[in-house]
Structure 1
Amino acid sequence: MYKVSEFSAMTGLSRDTLRYYDEIKLLEPARIDPSNGYRYYDNGSYVLAVLLVKLRSLGFTIQEMVSVMNDESFANLESLLLQKRARIQSQIDGLQAKMKDIDEFLASGRENDS
């Protein structure tokens, strides 16, 4: 079992984030000591925390992470990842179009200077 401070250091999740994840039932401690209220996490909690950190780094919202954790099926995670990937590709396409517009605008300005 790991104390909150140890678990925070292991996962990179702040104490506040761990408290919040516990409040919203996203990542609950494995055990809470009834005498002092201290929260303890185990190796299973660690695996879930690593998954949550990865999902956040991929831009998942809290609601999407809750959906993944509640569903627990790879099909749901795969679907969300494919949607996220499609959105990112769309953003890339939009940015590339803007870069092309900038290049064309700069080129037309150079032609007018000649």
Structure 2
Amino acid sequence: MYKISEFSEITGLSKETLRYYAEVGLLEPAYINPDNHYRYYDDGSYFLALLLGKLRGFGFTIQEMIAVMGDESFTHLEDLILEKRANIQNQIQDLQERLSEIDAFLQSGREEE
């Protein structure tokens, strides 16, 4: 069992993030000491914490992460990640189009000089 500070260190998730994830039901501590309310995590929590960190890095919202964690078999995880990938690809395309519009606008201003 790992205290929250140890678990935070090995997972890269802050103690505040771990507390928040517990609050919203994403990652519950394996045990909470009833006397001092210290939170303890186990090896099973480690995989889930790494997955949550990765999903957050991919830009998943808390609601999307809750949906992933609600599907304990993770059967739809690949579909959700592929959907997120497609959304990011669309955002990149939209930003590239905006850059092209900015460049064209700047160029048109230079041509008038």
The equivalent residue for 1:32 is 32
Runs of 4+ residues over 4 Å off in structure 1? none
Give 1:21 deviation, angstroms. Answer: 1.4
Question: What are the Cα deviations for residues 24-83 of structure 1, in whole angstroms up to 9, with x where unaligned?
Answer: 221111122233222111111111101101111111111111111110234321222122
For residues 99 and 16 of structure 1, the distance between their equivalents in structure 2, rounded to whole angstroms, comes to: 37
After superposition, residues 1-114 of structure 1 pair within 5 angstroms as: 1-113=1-113
Please report the RMSD computed on the Cα atoms of aligned residues, expressed in angstroms: 1.6
Structure-2-length-normalised TM-score: 0.87
Q: Which secondary structure does the structure 2 equivalent of 1:48 belong to?
A: helix
Q: Which secondary structure does the structure 2 equivalent of 1:13 belong to?
A: coil
User: Aligned residues: percent identity?
Assistant: 65
Unaligned runs of 5+ in 1: none
Q: Return the index of the structure with the highest Cα Rg.
A: 1
Aligned length: 113
Unaligned runs of 5+ in 2: none
